[in-house]
């Protein structure tokens, strides 16, 4: 089944404790991205990657890191999480940047206390 | 100025009603337009693309007016299962349009609630 998976789905952590949210797609997509969704602010792009070893900042990259060492994986790293990073995070992939359809993962709900 | 703006909603309508959502975008260089649907606490999913000539998929009709930089989504004969948030999405090619060229820009969404 073609899909984007994210782990964990739910996470409660404390300020400053490094965490990684994994994202994996099995569709051989070149383009992957991370979004956060907050009430009243909609979906905002954090980082994106057009291919292996190619990553770039989206609209709200501060406090986040990513890597793209393999085509299928695009982990999101929070080196020192803060409460303002409490949010719902979605990973997405598509055949290429600007493709008609982006496939989203199920989301990761992160709470930083 | 917001890049993609939608009706704030929520829209509360009875089953069988016709409902229309509007969306405006600020960058005239925008190239592609979509409507996504997002159920509560779930991931967004593509509902339909929007073409200049307008397009229809069953009870759903999407329209694009490039001159007015305006997109619409019409839902006829609403069903309970149509209850969701509808996201207007634009892909733009141009400098300084948030993120980078070719990335999706999402509106904040309009919530629809269809009641029996």
pLDDT tens-place string over residues B31-89: 889 999 999 989 999 999 998 888 999 999 999 999 999 999 999 999 999 999 999 99
pLDDT band at A100 (very low <50, low <70, confident <90, very high): confident
Chain A to chain B Cβ contacts (< 8 Å): 54
What distance lies between CA B81 and its chain's CA centroid?
A: 17
pLDDT higher than threshold 90 for residue A1: no
In sequence order, what are the residues at sequence separation of 6 or more whose Cβ sits closer than 8 angstroms to the Cβ of residue A59?
Answer: A44, A45, A46, B98, B99
From B61, B81, B72, B76, select the one nearest B110 (Cα to Cα).
Answer: B72
Tell me if B45 and A104 make a contact (CB, 8 A cut-off). Answer: yes
Contact list in A for residue B34 (CB cut-off 8 A) is 100
> In chain B, how many H helices and how many E strands?
0, 11
Could you tell me where the DSSP H helices lie in A2-54?
none
């Amino acid at each position: 089944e073609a899909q984007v998976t994210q782990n964990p789905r739910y996470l409660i952590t404390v300020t400053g404790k490094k965490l990684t949210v994994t994202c994996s797609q099995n569709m051989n997509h070149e383009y992957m991205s991370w979004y956060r969704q907050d009430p009243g602010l909609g979906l905002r792009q954090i980082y994106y990657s057009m291919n292996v070893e190619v990553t770039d900042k989206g609209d709200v990259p501060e406090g986040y890191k990513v890597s793209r060492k393999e085509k299928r994986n695009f982990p999101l790293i929070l080196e020192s999480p803060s409460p303002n990073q409490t949010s719902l995070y979605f990973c997405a992939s598509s055949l290429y940047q600007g493709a008609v359809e982006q496939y989203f993962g199920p989301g990761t709900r992160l709470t930083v206390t | 100025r917001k890049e993609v703006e939608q009706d704030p909603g929520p829209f509360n309508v009875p089953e069988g009603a016709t409902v229309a959502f509007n969306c405006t975008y600020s960058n005239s260089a925008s190239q592609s337009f979509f409507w996504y649907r997002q159920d509560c606490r779930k991931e967004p999913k593509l509902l339909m693309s929007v073409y200049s000539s307008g397009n229809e998929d069953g009870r759903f009709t999407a329209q694009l007016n490039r001159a007015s930089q305006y997109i619409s989504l019409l839902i006829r004969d609403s069903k309970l299962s149509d209850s969701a948030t509808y996201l207007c999405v634009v892909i733009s090619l141009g400098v300084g349009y948030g993120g980078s060229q070719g990335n999706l820009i999402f509106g904040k969404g309009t919530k629809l609630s269809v009641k029996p």
